[in-house]
Amino acid sequence: MSGKRPRWESEMFASIGPNAVACKTCMFRSAVINGHQQDNADCGNCEIYEYPESKPNEVYFDGAECEFYEKADDRPLALIMGVAVGDALGVPVEFKKRGTFYVTDMQGYGTHNQPAGTWSDDTSLTLALADNLLPESYELSDIAWGFINWYDKAAYTPHGKVFDVGNATAEAIKRLKKGVTPEKAGGTGERDNGNGSLMRIAPLTFYMFGIREAEERFRIVRDVSSLTHAHEWSVAACYIYVEMLNKLRMGRKKKAAYAELREDFARGVPFISKATLGKFVRILENDISTLPEEEIRSSGFVVDTLEAAFWCFMTTDNYKDAVLKAVNLGDDTDTTGAVTGALAGLAYGLDSIPQEWREQLAAYDEVRRIAVAMPRWDYFRKIA
């Protein structure tokens, strides 16, 4: 076994049959889209071959791995750093109106009087989720306990102080503390559709390895969103967002990922009502990147935040420009920056996030520790 690195069946093995085609080098399963074979563009040496009659339970790589997997090792860190940096850029200017300021770099103080690099509840709850996911299962009670520790004891905070807590999140955590079950803690009214679950849901993409059924992925997203936000609009927003992250996590380029997302929903999503899907027409039926800035809202309403994040991501071509565009939309700047940052961090990789911004992050070592320690389900999940 010397020099060999074991991996449990990856997400690719989860969805292939015995005669499916895949790359010998990176094990990426190619797909047929519109009649054309799609290889892994990130690999560089994709070579298609037929799998044998039975697929192995473990895969061993001799020597250097395919570049795709070398880059893939940074994906959890790129995602979490993407959230934290986008959040920190937005904290000093939160609630400011568009056009009254212009952010070009990490800065401090401002709205919340915090030093440069300080991140808010967006990152805190993202870390709490990431730190309480398990390789073989997710326990809502564990995640809820992480949220309570943050709220009561300032766990997962940059300076040992909780600030800028959303009303719906605070009320849900109070219900959890009173003994309400996690499944019933989140608000269910139309007024409970702030962006408080969307801002923290990104780590779930790394739990989605090997989960083939869309309805099962939706159920997981619904459960985790409903800890604080249980209304169907919030749940649907989280699901759309995580599905986009899933495609980016699998190596899709952003335009291809967005096209696939829209095709998926065009084929029908029976577990989300048509009325709810109607809230997301500008993302799912139209190409949101074609809209002018004046039609993009950046409030704390979950639909506005999702639209703004998709728009910033799809109208730029690198992490820095995406998150600066998000923050400069004004209003809920930290959350728009965080949600955009997850998309851009995962799409462009860790190196795309300016090193000086990463190094300026408050509690950088703790953010990195949780991201690196997050279970890699492509390594560990066994497929029955």
Instruction: Dump pLDDT digits (tens) for 75-87.
Output: 999 999 999 999 9
Max avg pLDDT among 70-74, 271-275, 372-376: 271-275
Mean pLDDT over 48-74 rounds to 45
Mean pLDDT over 137-146 rounds to 92
Question: Do the annotations mark residue 141 as ligand-binding?
Answer: no
Examine the fold and report which residue of 55, 71, 87 is the final residue of a domain before the chain moves on.
71
DSSP state string for 68-106: HHHHHTTHHHHHHHHHHHHHHHHGGGTTPPTTS----S-
Examine the fold and report which residue of 33, 52, 71 is the final residue of a domain before the chain moves on.
71
Query: Regarding predicted confidence, which is higher, 373 or 119?
Result: 119
Q: Does residue 2 belong to any structural domain of this protein? A: no
Question: Do the annotations mark residue 351 as ligand-binding?
Answer: no
Question: Do the annotations mark residue 287 as ligand-binding?
Answer: no
| Domain shared by 268 and 348, yes or no | yes
Q: What is the end-to-end Cα distance of the chain in Å, rounded?
A: 25
| Domain shared by 88 and 63, yes or no | no
Q: Does residue 33 belong to any structural domain of this protein? A: yes
Mean pLDDT rounded to a whole number for the chain: 85
Weakest mean pLDDT among 100-114, 119-133, 206-220: 206-220
Task: Please give the structure tokens belonging to residue 94.
Answer: 């939160």
| Domain shared by 133 and 204, yes or no | yes
Q: Does residue 5 belong to any structural domain of this protein? A: no
CATH code at position 92: 1.10.4080.10
Instruction: Give the pLDDT score at 208.
Output: 86
DSSP element (H, E) containing 148:
helix 140-153
Q: Does residue 13 belong to any structural domain of this protein? A: no
| Domain shared by 104 and 29, yes or no | no
Q: How many domains does the chain have?
A: 2
Phi/psi of residue 110, nearest 5 degrees: 70, -140
What's the farthest any 2 CA atoms get from each other in the chain?
A: 63
Q: Does residue 274 belong to any structural domain of this protein? A: yes
137 pLDDT more than 80: no
| Domain shared by 64 and 101, yes or no | no
Instruction: Quick: pLDDT tens for 334-359.
Output: 999 999 999 999 999 999 999 999 99
Instruction: Give the pLDDT score at 209.
Output: 78
Examine the fold and report which residue of 31, 56, 71 is the final residue of a domain before the chain moves on.
71
Mean pLDDT over 356-366 rounds to 97
Mean pLDDT over 353-377 rounds to 91
Range of the domain at 141: 74-373
Instruction: Give the pLDDT score at 19.
Output: 38
DSSP element (H, E) containing 250:
none
Rounded Cα distance, 334 and 90, in Å: 4
Q: Does residue 163 belong to any structural domain of this protein? A: yes
313 pLDDT more than 80: yes
Query: Regarding predicted confidence, which is higher, 64 or 107?
Result: 107
| Domain shared by 155 and 65, yes or no | no
| Domain shared by 27 and 89, yes or no | no
| Domain shared by 357 and 209, yes or no | yes
Task: Indicate the pLDDT class of residue 49, thresholds 50, 70 and 90.
Answer: very low
Q: Does residue 363 belong to any structural domain of this protein? A: yes
| Domain shared by 140 and 215, yes or no | yes
Instruction: Quick: pLDDT tens for 174-225.
Output: 999 999 999 999 999 999 999 999 999 999 999 887 788 999 999 999 999 9
The answer, as to whether pTM is greater than 0.95, is no
Q: What percent helix, strand, coil does the chain show, rounded to 5?
A: 55, 10, 40
Instruction: Give the pLDDT score at 373.
Output: 87
| Domain shared by 210 and 287, yes or no | yes
Rounded Cα distance, 170 and 183, in Å: 16
| Domain shared by 39 and 83, yes or no | no
> Among 275, 305, 158, which Cα is nearest to 313's?
305
Q: Does residue 9 belong to any structural domain of this protein? A: no
| Domain shared by 280 and 134, yes or no | yes
Question: Do the annotations mark residue 122 as ligand-binding?
Answer: yes
